[in-house]
Amino acid sequence: MTGQERRHAILSIVKIRNSVRVGELADRLTVSDVTIRKDLATLEEMGLVERTHGGVMLAEKSDDRTVLRARRLQNEDAKCIIAASARELLNHGETVFIDSGSTCAHLAALVREMELRVVTNSLDVMVALADRPGIALHATGGNYRQGGGSFIGPFAEEMIGRMNFDHAFLGTTGLSWDGRFSSQNTIESQSKRAVIAVTRTVVVLCDRSKVGNDAFSVFATAEDVDIVVSDIDDAGRNRLEDAGIHVIQAKKENTNDL
């Protein structure tokens, strides 16, 4: 069995069991614990599993995973409107973090003419801003997660922890009515928590399709987030504000002056 075949087998076992001990994987695949740990380190770098004390668990639910290319096309009009409203929060000369995700990529396209220091873990954001003379662009580094177009993991978290941001613009997979923000990947959630810890104003960009949903891994609650920018209707806004979340409603007229 090749290393790739063995890692595929490990992932299949973890998907069935959700959480498995290293020793059990070694016995089932007739290899050493050391070999299993090396395979788990590779799978963790890919954002597919999360190692626990003596074992491993899934980093995300595979049945919840949507191809990045397809996500970019979902609710695109709403995402453009949300990005335009978020752009209004920025001032020249600020230091900002722009997360991965399609709405954040739309925001990056709108700040190309600004003078900003931008830190990002998103490949799309890097490409959008790489040639802009007014943008001082910094990448977090880390392990590339193909499913999210993002760089995650301990290296990214260490880099983030050395900085301070005026604003952070984060994406989310789910926002429950009681104010829990969630991602489909636990390792990605850890990176988001690292950003929140060093940010003055945390802004979450969230189209209405994500409101009322719970994803796999919670990365923030209402008290961690300063602003949500969403195309949600009045009833939804009131319900979220009752949960302690300040909501800016993104509307089409907000884009007129951009």
Closest C-alpha among 124, 95, 125, 129 to residue 112 = 129
Q: Contact, 110 vs 255, CB < 8 A?
A: no
What's the predicted TM-score (pTM) here?
0.81
Domains and their CATH numbers in the chain: 3-59 (1.10.10.10), 68-255 (3.40.50.1360)
Question: pLDDT per residue over 65-123, tens digit each?
Answer: 555 455 555 678 999 999 999 999 999 999 999 999 999 999 999 999 999 999 999 99
Question: pLDDT per residue over 19-76, tens digit each?
Answer: 889 998 999 999 999 999 899 888 887 778 888 888 888 877 655 555 545 555 567 8
The yes-or-no verdict on residue 135 having pLDDT over 90 is yes
Amino acid identity of residue 110, one-letter, is L
